[in-house]
Amino acid sequence: ARSLRIGLIPGDGIGREVIPAGKKIIESLPSSLGLSFSFVDLDAGFDCFKRTGAALPDKTVETLKKECDGALFGAVRYAPHLPSNDPSNHHPTNTNPPQSSPSTKVAGYSSPIVAMRKSLSLYANVRPCKTVLSPTFPSPTKTPIDLVIVRENTEDLYVKEEKTYPDPSDPTGKAQIAEAIKRISSKASWRIADIAGQIALRRDKMRKASGAEVSHTKSGMVTITHKSNVLSQTDGLFRSTAREALSQPHFNALKIEEQIVDSMVYKLFLQPEYYDVIVAPNLYGDLLSDGSAALVGSLGLVPSANVGEGIIIGEPCHGSAPDIEGKGIANPIATIRSVGVMLEFMDLPEAAEVIYKAVDANIAEGRLVTPDLGGRATTEEVTNDIIRRM
Ligand code: NAD
Ligand code: MN
């Protein structure tokens, strides 16, 4: 049997309720798959920061690097409130620059996810968005969608090289200018386009193998998203490199398209079923992936994976959900699907398929679903029902 070691990083809030569900799903995979799993519990997040002074302890990173093939990350809480909710920030005489992120509200705390992506070179964030067919939960879209956003995760504006200086055109010296670097490299653009191509090939294969009716013409399509009509050098480099990567002979079976990001948003709202795989630089990918998650309807359903050279980390898209924390009613499906995405990237598509099918069957029956899907079941009841169907 192939033996795999999985790190478990529940984090804060409902992360601690949904990660155990993910673990149980892995332990319940049919033995016919010939896999054996072991687990290691790892610490990270806001409570960890309060306890230990580190949001992402070195030991967590070292263990992930040295011991783990894959990992599941739950969710983390940032600081208590957003600056926009704080009336003192809107006081007209307040000339301090606004605090940019909620995480700056607690001295020394910064997101362990961003740090983890850096220290483990997780260069791609992959977010599949698929409509659920449910009797209890109407889809926000008329036609079912089944797309995946492949977001570059290491550069673009997120290199965070910003500066602020006095505006030379202002004689009083009070006006300011702020600037940020947008960095695009051919290396990162190539590797993100390459992985998008591999994902498109695999999705096409999985669709056909699962006997799904591949009626739409989009299967095996990659849409390259950019704004090179304005940003001819940065996005221009992303576009030309992605085109080149996707014209490698082993991608011959794919359809490659490109679309300017603003018109992409328009079409994503109007005709989301059109898309299969969307590949984008970091910022556009961030926006498109949250927008796409909205097309599915509940954050409790949407999975993701962080993919790098070594480890694969599955992660539900939702946060720590303080409003339902501790009630035992968090929807475990985003996490359970994240287990599937993690397994796909560990080259175990059959194992992933077992999970996806069981989840679809649970939702299609609609008897044991959590309140976000209009049901009354608990996290544990949903998990057990999915396991029964595996
Ligand atoms: P959230 O995702 O935690 O919750 C938004 C809404 O969706 C809430 O009403 C919540 O109850 C619901 N929801 C989320 N997951 C659910 C699930 N599995 N089942 C049922 N309902 C679910 O976002 P928020 O409220 O904006 O943020 C809460 C905290 O989480 C904040 O501290 C925020 O900074 C953090 N956050 C973390 C991540 C992450 O770790 N990746 C992502 C987003 C937000
Ligand atoms: Mn985001």
* Predicted local confidence at residue 91, as pLDDT: 41
Q: Is 19 in the pocket of ligand 1 (CB under 6 A)?
A: no
CA 319 / ligand 1 centre spacing (Å): 3
ipTM of the complex: 0.97
* Predicted local confidence at residue 207, as pLDDT: 84
The secondary structure of 217-252 as a DSSP string is TTTTEEEEEE-TTT-TTHHHHHHHHHHHHTTSGGGT
Pairing of strands 176-180, 312-314: unpaired
Q: Is 16 in the pocket of ligand 1 (CB under 6 A)?
A: no
* Predicted local confidence at residue 115, as pLDDT: 85
Q: Which atom, in ligand 1's list, is nearest to the CA of 372?
A: 20
Q: Which atom, in ligand 1's list, is nearest to the CA of 46?
A: 32
pTM, rounded to two decimals: 0.89
Ranges of the chain with pLDDT below 50? 81-104
CA 331 / ligand 1 centre spacing (Å): 11
* Predicted local confidence at residue 215, as pLDDT: 54
Class of 141-295 in CATH: alpha beta
Find, among 178, 136, 153, 122, the residue nearest to 301 by Cα.
136
Residue 98 has φ and ψ, to the nearest 5°, of: -60, 145
* Predicted local confidence at residue 345, as pLDDT: 94
Residue whose Cα lies nearest atom 36 of ligand 1: it is 319
Which CATH number does 1-81+109-130+298-390 carry? 3.40.718.10
Q: Is 300 in the pocket of ligand 1 (CB under 6 A)?
A: yes
CA 321 / ligand 1 centre spacing (Å): 4
> What are 357's two structure tokens?
């099918």
CA 152 / ligand 1 centre spacing (Å): 23
Residue 149 has φ and ψ, to the nearest 5°, of: -95, 130
* Predicted local confidence at residue 206, as pLDDT: 82
For the four alpha carbons of 287, 293, 295 and 300, in that order, the dihedral sign comes to negative
1-81+109-130+298-390 shares its CATH topology with 141-295: yes
Q: Is 328 in the pocket of ligand 1 (CB under 6 A)?
A: no
Q: Is 372 in the pocket of ligand 1 (CB under 6 A)?
A: yes
DSSP label at residue 99? P
CA 77 / ligand 1 centre spacing (Å): 9
Q: Are 332 and 23 in contact (CB under 8 A)?
A: no
Buried b (16+ CB within 10 A) or exposed e, 33-53: eebebebeebbbbbbbbeeee
Q: Is 330 in the pocket of ligand 1 (CB under 6 A)?
A: yes
Considering every ligand atom shown, identify the ligand nearest to the alpha carbon of residue 291 and give its number. Answer: 2
CA 169 / ligand 2 centre spacing (Å): 35
Show me where the domains of the chain are located: 1-81+109-130+298-390, 141-295
* Residue spans of alpha helices (H) in 44-138: 46-52, 58-67, 112-119
* Predicted local confidence at residue 217, as pLDDT: 66
Q: Are 257 and 312 in contact (CB under 8 A)?
A: no
Considering every ligand atom shown, identify the ligand nearest to the alpha carbon of residue 283 and give its number. Answer: 2
Residue whose Cα lies nearest atom 23 of ligand 1: it is 319
Find, among 264, 3, 306, 315, the residue nearest to 151 by Cα.
306
